[in-house]
Structure 1
Amino acid sequence: MDLRNLTSASNSVLFMDLKYIIKEQALPFLPAKSLFRFLAVCRDWKLHISTPSFHHNQSLCCRGISGLFCQAPENPPVFVPIHPESCGVPDPSLSFLPEPVEIRASSNGVLCCQGRNEDKYYYLCNPVTKQWKKLPKPTASHGSKPALGLIFEPSLLNSVPEYKLICAFQSTDFDDATEFEIYSSKNNSWNVSDAICFGDEKADLGSGVHVNGVVYWPVESDHILCFDLTKDRSQFQRSITDGIDCLLGTFDGRLCKVYISGNEVRVRVSKVLNIPTITWDESDMWEDTLELDSDVTFIPLDDDYIDTRAVAVSRDILVAVSENEFYCYDFEDQKTNTLSRPEPAESESDYEICVPYVNSLVSL
């Protein structure tokens, strides 16, 4: 055989193998904005990226925080990307929804919003594809600022996306008690749980975080409220942050909490996959993973006149906001970037709502 023909054949096989690897193994890990650009590469890629099976695969693979949806009072939402060149949404204000909304929660590419009109309907949407779904009216009153936890966990075993939305709300039947109502996309209905959690005071809850079947809410009174979806029971757990508000998130599949104390940012990670909902000694349940000061992060922390708060955390990054400036600290590179900050549309109010978002093609 001619050596030139053999070399040409080998290069052809190598090219085909590389082409297959990129299309099948690399593309699903890319954020949606990049994938939309790659639709123009060739007809084969366009057809491949447009299939529902690829959308499902991408929602399984692309799980990193792409940016944050933020909102100032009486203003439409804005999007703050971590990497603007690869992550973004076509309509950050979500004007494709049937009414003005407030951002409430997110989970792996799906946003939960609440309408501002009198009925206060909930909507689930994908900001990339502009798909949306209006949820039925809850049976209970969730209050003016519902404490919601959105649960969407893509599964290899189920190509049909399933969602749950859980709201912790102040009981109308018992003083100083919290009840729970759960929406399931499987039957498209709400159900009030039998679980009732009694506390020492009315809980002012933050956004809920889902980890392995349990939803956690930070409480301003330095507690954490837990609700176990499998066992249908709940409990307040005492924190040891001395009354300092904390942000809850996930770190390597475990619950973590971030709080700012003086000129330090502390990240504590649960030693187990799930914090039990009975009783526990917090000193045995958490480990200090990171302690960062302002000299390391270059985030303004030590000024008594500046309010700095953590708004997103993952295995890779920590995002904090100070005077409407967003700072992203990379744990691996140990570098801080200042993120682009869109101005509020009508005022200079603070971004009171900041929800982490994953740039996913997931279908509703």
Structure 2
Amino acid sequence: EIILEILARLPIKSLFRTKCVCKLWYKLASHRSFTLAYNELSVKNVMVLVEVTESSTESTSSLILIDNKRGVSEFSLDFVKDRVKIRASCNGLLCCSSVPDKGVYYVCNPMTREFKLLPRSRERPITRFYPDGEATLVGLCCDLLSNRYNVVLAGYHRMFGHRPEGKLICWVFDSESNKWRKYVCDEDDHGFTHMNRNQVVFVKGCLHWMTQSFSYILVLDLKLDLWRRMVLPAEMGCGNGSGNRVYLLESQGKLSVIQICSGWMNMWVLEDYEKGKWDLMDRVSLRCIRGMVPGIFPISQGGDYVFLAGHKQVLVYQRKTRIWKEMYSVKNNCTMPLWFSAHSFRGTIYKMKPKPILVPMAMAMAMATTFYVLCFFLSVAPVPLPKSDQNLLEFPLNLEYMEAEFFLYGSMGFGLDHIQPNLTGGGPPPIGARKANLTPLITDIITQFGYQEVGHIRAIKSRIGGGFRRPLLNLSAESFGAVINQAFGKPLYPLFDPYANDINYLLSSYIIPYVGLTGYVGANPYLQTPTAKKLVAGLLGVESGQDAILRNLLYERATLCVVPYGITVFDFTNKISELRNKLGRAGLKDEGLVVSPYLGAEGKVKGNVLSADTNSLSYGRTPKEILRIVYGSGKEQVPGGFYPHGRGLDHIQPDLTGGGPPPIGARRANLTPLIRDIVAQFGYQEIGHIRFHLLPNLLYM
């Protein structure tokens, strides 16, 4: 593990040199687990990329990379085989436009020296009547987890000789489909300076640009294809006044704004993206560089430092030591200003064109064995895991998605689509989930649970890979109300609402984590590798902790009556546990908060703050039992309840193809929502049929 930690901290060039050491290290840089670990560290090291251009001959330029830790190094984009101009940067990728050929764009990773020529967004040639070869705004967003990127070109349509019309035309390129999509919206011309256009920030699945007036931020939501405006800190006193300048940056995954005004540099960070809450992170006196203030511009910032570029110099300000340092300067008087072409940059391993490596079977087996043994001794997850372990780890994702969405919506009013949209796998949003009416203490606890579930999903998906999609979840009040009615064997009036108050929400939460807990206990004996067992042990520890806290909170309120039903809390928990035992059809594996003495610990107590067997060990359930419970049908083949369309599948199930070729000519049909819903159900049903014939032991008994 120490070796991998060291390798993960090397510069990319040095890392690639280590490929010569042995076959294992040669393959290491392309392993997804190592790549994710490397990128997670490298994105924290924010650098500056500067194009030094001689004004006398604009065709002559050189690129300089400035690193706060390693100093200055030369840089080159000669592998693109074209004269290009950098337009945007995001997570190690650059979007460049061709200088000689208007409308031609590239996306490249200069560290791996790979690039992709994007298809033209339009076939019509550029003429004097349609001068739109260069977009007003160019944005790039790169998701390192999903290995997917988008390029955005936006501008105002105008006829030759006329002012721009009030229509903002936007083209979005998707790396997965390799296609552009276009949409037009009514937006006034916001106006953007050169620095505004350069400093586009990708945060929370959206691209952000500062407008020329410094009065608001223009935001493009890529998932919804929607433009909106974001307000700046009210305390900033923004306005395009004398000596007041505002710049948009990114700081450790959050949106940040730096204001230079009256000899001070104010650094703001958007702590709560959904509520638009800005906090003043730091206030820096510019007295030490007073003479440079009018011509200096913030370019990028890390956790404790900020890069600023002037006409001939690049400075770094160390926030901890309050020290200014010159990182780079040019002596030639004939250069363009450095800030004019300076971009924030991070070095990452992002494969633009992954290619399969074909090796003889014997060599492949030997390499796999060597890698597995070394990873075992280094306590690193071997990749890939055995298929049986992948199946056992994949199944709990269905429950983790349910817990994450229920806790996030209940505490904050939004879910994974806002917190970590890349983890949804493109699955549909939950039905009926909403913010609960909770007290501050319960809100705080449930918020922690929600973020913990996000980590669980990330941990599982990073081990099993694939494109597992979030299943359709029904988290509406009607869905929970139906479970409670089923538990009592009669309808309660009014319908039980899980989001009404603390007690209702805690009772609804009582339904969820315990089912996942028993699933992990049941799966553990069937796991083959130490890696999978270690992961399940970590998940089980937190899931059992969540269940213990929920049961403790309910145990404190056990004798309270649930309004307006006049039924005590412990009666609710007992009925829910009895229902789960009935649906699971596997005997007693669930107990309420108050039980008969013979069911209590050592057969001596009625209190049952933790549910366990006669030896006080946790119960375990099989996937079939869990499906019977969460479907609410008592049958693992009949979806319903919280999963209207059944459990999720790995996008969809590549292992069921047996390595066969893909179909010829199949594509998505132009269907109405109703027909699309019906046909999607048919498709998932057919997948179940294939699995039934090929993988009869997938769900163990």
TM-score by length of 1: 0.78
Indicate the structure with greater helix content: 2
Q: Determine if contact 2:89/2:95 at 8 Å carries over to the other structure.
A: yes
Q: 1:85 to 1:312 in 2, by over 3 A?
A: closer
**Pairing 1:76–2:64 present:** no
**Pairing 1:58–2:38 present:** yes
Aligned equivalent of 1:43, options 22, 26, 35: 22
Aligned equivalent of 2:219, options 211, 220, 226: 226
Deviation of the 1:181 alpha carbon: 1.6
Deviation of the 1:22 alpha carbon: 2.2
Q: 1:219 to 1:28 in 2, by over 3 A?
A: same
**Pairing 1:33–2:13 present:** yes
Q: Deviations over 1:58-93 (max 9, x none)?
A: 22331124422222462434123224748856xx23
Q: 1:264 to 1:136 in 2, by over 3 A?
A: same
Q: Determine if contact 2:192/2:210 at 8 Å carries over to the other structure.
A: no
**Pairing 1:293–2:279 present:** no
Q: 1:234 to 1:51 in 2, by over 3 A?
A: closer
Partner Cα separation in structure 1 for residue 14 and residue 69 of structure 2: 10
Partner Cα separation in structure 1 for residue 334 and residue 31 of structure 2: 41
Query: Counterpart of 2:284 in structure 1: which amino acid?
Result: L
Q: 1:37 to 1:347 in 2, by over 3 A?
A: farther
**What residue number does 1:267 align with?**
267
**What residue number does 1:100 align with?**
83
Secondary structure of the equivalent of 1:271?
strand
Residue range with higher mean Cα deviation, 302-311 or 221-230: 302-311
Secondary structure of the equivalent of 1:198?
coil
Secondary structure of the equivalent of 1:349?
coil
Deviation of the 1:274 alpha carbon: 4.4
Deviation of the 1:44 alpha carbon: 5.8
**Pairing 1:109–2:109 present:** no
Aligned equivalent of 1:184, options 169, 174, 178: 174
Q: Determine if contact 1:180/1:193 at 8 Å carries over to the other structure.
A: yes
Indicate the structure with greater strand content: 1
Secondary structure of the equivalent of 1:59?
helix
Partner Cα separation in structure 2 for residue 322 and residue 65 of structure 1: 21
Higher relative contact order (CA 8 A, sep 6+): 1
Secondary structure of the equivalent of 1:303?
helix
Partner Cα separation in structure 2 for residue 258 and residue 305 of structure 1: 13
Q: Deviations over 1:183-202 (max 9, x none)?
A: 11011111113444335x54
Q: Determine if contact 1:107/1:357 at 8 Å carries over to the other structure.
A: yes
Secondary structure of the equivalent of 1:35?
helix
Q: Determine if contact 2:312/2:330 at 8 Å carries over to the other structure.
A: no
Q: Deviations over 1:204-233 (max 9, x none)?
A: 442321111121101112131111122221
Q: 1:193 to 1:361 in 2, by over 3 A?
A: same
Deviation of the 1:144 alpha carbon: 3.5
Partner Cα separation in structure 2 for residue 343 and residue 69 of structure 1: 18
**What residue number does 1:323 align with?**
311
- Equivalent residues in 2 for 1:171-210, closer than 5 Å: 171-172=157-158, 175-199=165-189, 201-204=190-193, 205-207=196-198, 208-210=200-202
Partner Cα separation in structure 2 for residue 145 and residue 171 of structure 1: 10
Partner Cα separation in structure 2 for residue 274 and residue 106 of structure 1: 25
**What residue number does 2:155 align with?**
169
Aligned equivalent of 1:363, options 329, 351, 359: 351
Q: Determine if contact 2:255/2:269 at 8 Å carries over to the other structure.
A: yes
Partner Cα separation in structure 2 for residue 164 and residue 30 of structure 1: 28
Q: Determine if contact 1:249/1:314 at 8 Å carries over to the other structure.
A: no
Q: Determine if contact 1:88/1:359 at 8 Å carries over to the other structure.
A: no
Q: 1:130 to 1:304 in 2, by over 3 A?
A: closer
Q: 1:271 to 1:261 in 2, by over 3 A?
A: same
**What residue number does 2:663 align with?**
none
Residue range with higher mean Cα deviation, 71-80 or 188-197: 71-80
Secondary structure of the equivalent of 1:152?
strand
Q: Determine if contact 2:50/2:64 at 8 Å carries over to the other structure.
A: yes
Q: Determine if contact 2:46/2:300 at 8 Å carries over to the other structure.
A: no
**Pairing 1:22–2:7 present:** no
Partner Cα separation in structure 1 for residue 330 and residue 17 of structure 2: 23
Partner Cα separation in structure 2 for residue 83 and residue 25 of structure 1: 20
Secondary structure of the equivalent of 2:325?
strand
Secondary structure of the equivalent of 2:80?
coil
**What residue number does 1:349 align with?**
336
Partner Cα separation in structure 2 for residue 165 and residue 109 of structure 1: 14
Q: Determine if contact 1:80/1:340 at 8 Å carries over to the other structure.
A: no
Q: Give ranges in structure 2 of 5+ residues lacking alignment.
A: 125-130, 353-701
Cα RMSD (Å) of the superposition?
A: 2.9
- Equivalent residues in 2 for 1:245-284, closer than 5 Å: 245-274=245-274
Q: Determine if contact 1:306/1:322 at 8 Å carries over to the other structure.
A: no
Q: Deviations over 1:150-187 (max 9, x none)?
A: 111211xx4xx211011231233862443322111011
Q: 1:32 to 1:66 in 2, by over 3 A?
A: farther
Partner Cα separation in structure 2 for residue 265 and residue 256 of structure 1: 13
Secondary structure of the equivalent of 1:96?
helix
Q: Determine if contact 1:213/1:230 at 8 Å carries over to the other structure.
A: yes
Partner Cα separation in structure 1 for residue 42 and residue 82 of structure 2: 29
Partner Cα separation in structure 2 for residue 356 and residue 182 of structure 1: 22
**What residue number does 1:4 align with?**
none
Q: Determine if contact 1:260/1:310 at 8 Å carries over to the other structure.
A: no
Deviation of the 1:132 alpha carbon: 0.9
Identity %: 18
Q: Determine if contact 1:66/1:81 at 8 Å carries over to the other structure.
A: no
TM-score by length of 2: 0.42
Deviation of the 1:131 alpha carbon: 0.8
Q: 1:270 to 1:305 in 2, by over 3 A?
A: closer
Secondary structure of the equivalent of 2:202?
strand
Q: Determine if contact 2:157/2:165 at 8 Å carries over to the other structure.
A: yes
